[in-house]
Structure 1
Amino acid sequence: MLLTIEKIIAGGLGLGRREDGCTVLVPGVLPGEEVRVRVRRRHRRFLEAELQEHLRPAPARRQPPCPFYGRCGGCDLQHALYPAQLAIKQQILEELLQRVGLAAQVLPRLAAPLAAPAEFNYRQRIRLQVEQGRAGFFQSGSRQLQPISTCLLARPEINALWQEMQQHKGWRQLAGQVKALEINLDPVSGRLVVMLRHGRRPRPAERRAAWQLCRDLPALQGLAFLPAGHAAGPFIDQRSGPEGRPGPEALQLTMSLPVVPAAVNLELGFEPWGFSQVNEEQNRQLLALLFEFLQPTGREIVADLHCGMGNFSLPLALLVGEVHGVDLQAAAIRWARRNAEANRINNCYFSRAEAGQGLAALQVGGIRPDVLLLDPPRTGCKELVAALAEPLPPRIVMISCDPATMVRDLSGLLALNYQVAAMRLVDMFPQTHHIETITMLTKSQP
């Protein structure tokens, strides 16, 4: 059938309509394009189709630079010039706000998107699926593996190591038992840590192969086995020998985080499997935007309820009165405390708890935050928002990586008599449909 693409919807698919009005969803298209498509799958309310031919391409269309694009499920907007990608994401966000009835309250406060400093080679961590010794990404909407030799979203150091590994006999010895492979770049040293999700505990020959990899590839800081059903380990580096080390201390990663208003450069450590933003440069811009929203005076009490290893807590502590970080992951709290000590920050306190329980504990202890910082996982913080009670903090900053759960939680906060003071889309993941936002809310006066 012939279609005119009206818009791109959440998930990166183009939407067009058949002559009878039936909705048709198509990947790899842009708004305004006239295309020929073939139906792949029929649903009760819409059709899925695949692109056959461009009859009138959009001016913003480009030839995707990645040879695996369209087969690999990692990217879905690479066929659009980068400014067009930003416009598409902004339109998706605006439409979502309109659909849930928040347009009048939010759109006047929604700024232009914050572009990423680099649209390619920005990821400092990638995860490859492995089947029968071949590594790559699953194709979109399937479990079919597309082997890859390089990824244009990954930092050059990651691609260089992966290409070396593929030629090394040590990797070929290991690959048969590996289910997934993660490569992490240490932004400070430039060296890399590899994690192997192994089907079982590694045998002596596999440990020797891993050690040989570490010895032969200078960029490889170390390697961790994550065997299914068993504790992590051994942890192998160039000096450990094939038996490895019992703990991952030698595989620590470190990120450098400039706090410009305080004229300080923090160095924050974390474990390779701990959470950190994959786009280091955009993370710095997001931090600067957080400072711009808050305009700290040096007296605020901040509760960071999803603090991780201190990515926001510790920089904020240099500019406010005190910060209380809460996270449910024990390793995150352990590293947050280490990072506070290593950077000589003594007004930042960390505790392990679920976000709502952590906030309740602060209030029981007589601590009344002036600012709540919420940076939840994709599932959002519905339960926390529902449990908020007086005295409510004057300001809340919500950082979200999923617009659907963001608008749900935002609706709950607006019902508590908050209003949106500022919102901005932060493009953390160029070439993909993923949308990150930061929103500041202030408490309306009764």
Structure 2
Amino acid sequence: MTSSTYHIEKLLHGGLGLGRNEDKQKMLIEGVISGETVAAKIQSLKKNRNTAVATSIIEPSSERIKAPCQYYKQCGGCDFQHMNYPRQLQEKQAILKDLLQQSGNTILQEAATQILNAPLPSPSQTHYRQRIRLQVDNKQTLGFHKRRSHDCVAIESCLLATPKINDCLQKLLPQYAFNKLLNQTETVEILFDPDSSTVTLLIQFKRKPRPADKQHAQDLINTISELTNIFFIGDGFSVTGNASLSFTLPPLVPHTTKTVQLSLETGGFCQVNVEQNTNLVKTVLDFCAVTKKDTILDLFCGMGNFSIPLAERSQSVLGIEGQGSAIRSAIRNSSNAGQDNTIFKKQPIHAACSELAKAGSLFDCIILDPPRQGAPGLARVLSALCRKRLVYISCDPVTLCRDLEDLLQYGFVIKKLQPIDMFPQTHHIETVALLETA
């Protein structure tokens, strides 16, 4: 298909640019910046979704830069590398603002212009990830998926990974034992423990590991000094061994010097940007504004990223999470912090909230940190459980807008919206919302 010239009106959720040509035809184009004019070749024409690939930048933005990663345009990640960091933050705020304004809800539309803050920048824009997951394709290529493909781009280092992860990866690649393991591997997760400066591998295996596989793993541990553990996971068998990763939050309680160490079991979830996670926790604590008289309900509590610091400031914390390993980690983290005012329960969130509401439970503050799909259908019961305020931590602006609209219908009032850039070089944005009861 021939190329056409498009003016980029704005970037949409997902990072693609909305462009129009002289015939007003809409096109979604990757690798562009709002306000640019580009020549693009049509890739596909589908109902409500026409896509094209930019072939040249006719009128570039002054904030366009050369992407710093050698795998850019091959690897499927890091889709904002072509703009400088201030512009990345500006585009992310604009995307969130646009979604709020397009919601059709007048309160959300007002929030977009009146209370939506500029994103909190990340202390580091590269080498901030303490964990990466590499794919292995059917050609035994280890790397990240290519754009719109299940084939992998072979990588030797990742711009976003900590130097220790990249060092370990480069030492692994030529090892005979590692390449033998790749024969039966689907993914390799490399995890850096910032407290011990060591690296762990979590290998998703196609079958139960055999003695020879375990010996290959031990050979790698013996050869690479920073590599201290290798674990196998897969269908039909559980994680072999019992290791954890840990990181320390700085003093978060006013007028104290007490740090909080958090750890999680191998394979558990934590924020990958440890430096920015500290700012995320501080923001949540500020929004909660709890006192020693307040009771807290932490939903999707994980290993206690918010629960443990909040327990230092409040009367009590009830944390609920559906994943057993996360609850075990939360209990251990609270115990290690010397806390006796926390309870952690493994239970589906919707069922747990319904039980609490039926029992007449009330909490001064509720923390809601759901996965990407958000928390549909929870607004009504949350309104019955919440006495003062609700703090919603979202990793997806679309589901955030949907859930905020639901919460507004049940009497909550939006007071603050603070985007936090957990993922520089990508279109992803975290948002913390403060809501209060009417």
* Aligned AA (1:255): F
Q: 1 CA distance for matches of 2:353 and 2:112?
A: 27
Q: 1 CA distance for matches of 2:53 and 2:357?
A: 54
Please list every run of 5 or more consecutive structure 2 residues that lacks an aligned counterpart in the other structure. Answer: none
Q: 2 CA distance for matches of 1:424 and 1:391?
A: 24
2:119 pairs, out of 103, 113, 134, with: 113
Q: 1 CA distance for matches of 2:116 and 2:28?
A: 28
Identity of aligned residues (%): 38
RMSD: 1.4
Residue 55 of structure 2 is aligned to residue 57 of structure 1: no
Aligned to 2:21: 18
1:144 pairs, out of 134, 144, 151, with: 151
1:255 pairs, out of 234, 247, 260, with: 247
Q: 1 CA distance for matches of 2:125 and 2:382?
A: 38
Aligned to 1:420: 414
State the Cα distance separating 1:130 from its structure 2 match.
0.7
Residue 410 of structure 2 is aligned to residue 408 of structure 1: no
Q: 1 CA distance for matches of 2:383 and 2:130?
A: 39
Aligned to 1:264: 258
User: Measured at CA, do residues 388 and 288 of structure 1 come closer, stay the same or move farther in structure 2, by a change above 3 Å?
Assistant: closer
Deviation digits for residues 113-143 of structure 1 (CA, Å, limit 9, x no counterpart):
1000001001111000012332111112221
Q: 2 CA distance for matches of 1:391 and 1:278?
A: 31
Aligned length: 429
Q: 2 CA distance for matches of 1:97 and 1:365?
A: 35
User: Where in structure 1 do 4 or more consecutive aligned residues deviate above 4 Å?
Assistant: 363-366
State the Cα distance separating 1:71 from its structure 2 match.
0.5
State the Cα distance separating 1:386 from its structure 2 match.
4.1
Q: 2 CA distance for matches of 1:272 and 1:368?
A: 34
The answer as to whether partners of 1:7 and 1:31 remain within 8 angstroms in 2 is yes
* Aligned AA (1:67): Q
2:41 pairs, out of 34, 38, 47, with: 38
Aligned to 1:351: 345
Residue 82 of structure 2 is aligned to residue 79 of structure 1: yes
* Aligned AA (2:415): A
1:168 pairs, out of 155, 175, 187, with: 175
Residue 207 of structure 2 is aligned to residue 213 of structure 1: no
The answer as to whether partners of 2:361 and 2:385 remain within 8 angstroms in 1 is no
The answer as to whether partners of 1:22 and 1:45 remain within 8 angstroms in 2 is no
Q: 2 CA distance for matches of 1:359 and 1:141?
A: 39
User: Measured at CA, do residues 343 and 370 of structure 1 come closer, stay the same or move farther in structure 2, by a change above 3 Å?
Assistant: same
Given the two structures, how large is their TM-score scaled by the length of structure 1?
A: 0.93
Q: Does 158-167 or 357-366 show the bigger shift?
A: 357-366
Q: Does 349-358 or 319-328 show the bigger shift?
A: 349-358
Q: 1 CA distance for matches of 2:430 and 2:147?
A: 21
State the Cα distance separating 1:366 from its structure 2 match.
5.3
Q: Does 45-54 or 372-381 show the bigger shift?
A: 45-54
Aligned ranges for residues 28-427 of structure 1 at < 5 Å?
Answer: 28-100=31-103, 101=105, 102-131=108-137, 132-227=139-234, 229-234=235-240, 247-248=241-242, 251-260=243-252, 261=254, 262-363=256-357, 367-390=361-384, 392-427=386-421
Please list every run of 5 or more consecutive structure 1 residues that lacks an aligned counterpart in the other structure. Answer: 235-246
State the Cα distance separating 1:410 from its structure 2 match.
0.3
